[in-house]
């Protein structure tokens, strides 16, 4: 997928965070935090050419760093509460093979590794697409169907598999990630599609962290073939995150399986990031004939 890519490596840094813990008898606790690469998994190896997330918005980076800080035993449940009435099942992975690398170190699964850069583009639907009437419908992200309101547009960065590091922004699409305007705390759902991976389930969860998900519209543990969706800036439902981590640690023979409309988390703020892929390639999330069927270009 990548073309010419320049290696980009960041050394390990320490973040000094002061977290105010609310509750009777709790004061202020100072913590020295590692990088995201260090906190994601105990299986991280030193000197790996991993990259820190680059959100290109200082405020956004600080906000997500705070979420990482708050994700500790005893605080997680209060900060990102379970979604009432939801439980999460799993399906066996088709044609299972041992993973080549941990998911959090995989440039196709963990979008934080690639990062994305802002781009100037129209913040409305575009009359492109329409080749697949069964394509995932992004309106299904919302609790109540509504016209999309695009808050910002980005280009996702390329990934160089030689150095396992990010490169320049992908140029094939004018836009490869958008931020949709949402209400803070709004529940986010699985978008429907015309495809079924068995038992009425629509997607497998290929990657989950505190603030992001990668959903795959096939039953194989790979970004290829088929559709995949990356979701950014969401507070992933703790029960779903724990289910994913358990299955991931057990070797990924099974992964969480979700039906259309399943609640998967809550909006962290007033924007949720969305990228959509087909066969591994990033496509433009503004295409109304594919992802927003039945909606007008007048939607902003």
pLDDT digits (tens, 9 = 90+) for 168-220: 999 999 999 999 999 999 999 999 999 999 999 999 999 999 999 999 999 99
Q: What is the pLDDT of residue 166?
A: 94
Question: Cβ(158)–Cβ(1) under 8 Å?
Answer: yes
Mean pLDDT over the full length of the chain: 79
Tokens for 288, please give them.
């109304």
Q: Tokens in use for 72?
A: 């500790």
Nearest to 232 by CA among 148, 114, 130: 114
Closest CA to 141 of 297, 1, 296, 274: 274
**% of the chain surpassing 90 pLDDT:** 69
Mind listing the pLDDT tens digit for each residue in 22-38? 333 333 333 322 333 33
**pLDDT, tens only, 25-72:** 333 333 322 333 333 333 332 222 333 333 333 233 333 333 333 333
What does the block give as tokens for 22?
Answer: 């609310």
Q: What is the DSSP string of 92-140?
A: EPBT----SS-GGG-TTT-HHHH-EEE----SS-BS---S-TTS--GGG
pTM tops 0.85 = no
What is the distance between the alpha carbons of residues 50 and 55, in angstroms, rounded to a whole number? 15
Cis peptide before 225 (omega within 30 of 0): yes
What are 195-206's pLDDT values in tens digits?
999 999 999 999
């Amino acid at each position: 997928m990548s073309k010419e890519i320049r290696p980009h490596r960041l050394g390990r840094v320490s973040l000094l965070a002061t977290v105010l813990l609310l509750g009777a008898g709790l004061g202020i606790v100072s913590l020295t935090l590692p990088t995201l690469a260090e906190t994601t998994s105990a299986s991280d190896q030193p000197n790996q050419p991993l990259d820190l997330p680059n959100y290109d918005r200082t405020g956004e980076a600080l906000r997500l760093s705070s979420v990482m800080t708050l994700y500790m035993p005893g605080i997680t449940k209060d900060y990102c509460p379970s979604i009432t009435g939801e439980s999460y099942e799993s399906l066996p992975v088709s044609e299972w093979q041992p993973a080549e690398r941990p998911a959090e170190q995989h440039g196709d699964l963990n979008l934080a590794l690639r990062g994305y850069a802002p781009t100037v583009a129209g913040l409305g639907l575009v009359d492109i697409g329409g080749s697949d009437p069964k394509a995932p419908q992004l309106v299904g992200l919302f609790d109540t169907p509504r016209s999309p309101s695009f808050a910002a547009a980005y280009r996702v960065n390329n990934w160089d598999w030689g150095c396992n590091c990010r490169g320049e922004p992908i140029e094939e699409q004018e836009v490869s990630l958008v931020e949709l305007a949402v209400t803070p705390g709004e529940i986010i759902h699985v978008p429907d599609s015309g495809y079924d991976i068995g038992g009425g389930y629509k997607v497998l969860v290929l990657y989950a962290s505190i603030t992001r998900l990668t959903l795959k519209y096939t039953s194989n543990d790979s970004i290829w073939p088929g559709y995949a969706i990356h979701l950014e800036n969401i507070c992933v439902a703790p029960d779903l995150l724990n289910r994913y981590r358990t299955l991931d640690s057990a070797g990924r023979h099974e992964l969480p399986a979700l039906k259309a409309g399943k609640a998967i988390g809550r909006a962290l703020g007033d924007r949720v990031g969305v990228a959509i892929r087909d066969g591994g390639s990033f496509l433009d999330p503004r295409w109304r004939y594919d992802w927003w069927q039945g909606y007008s270009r007048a939607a902003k």
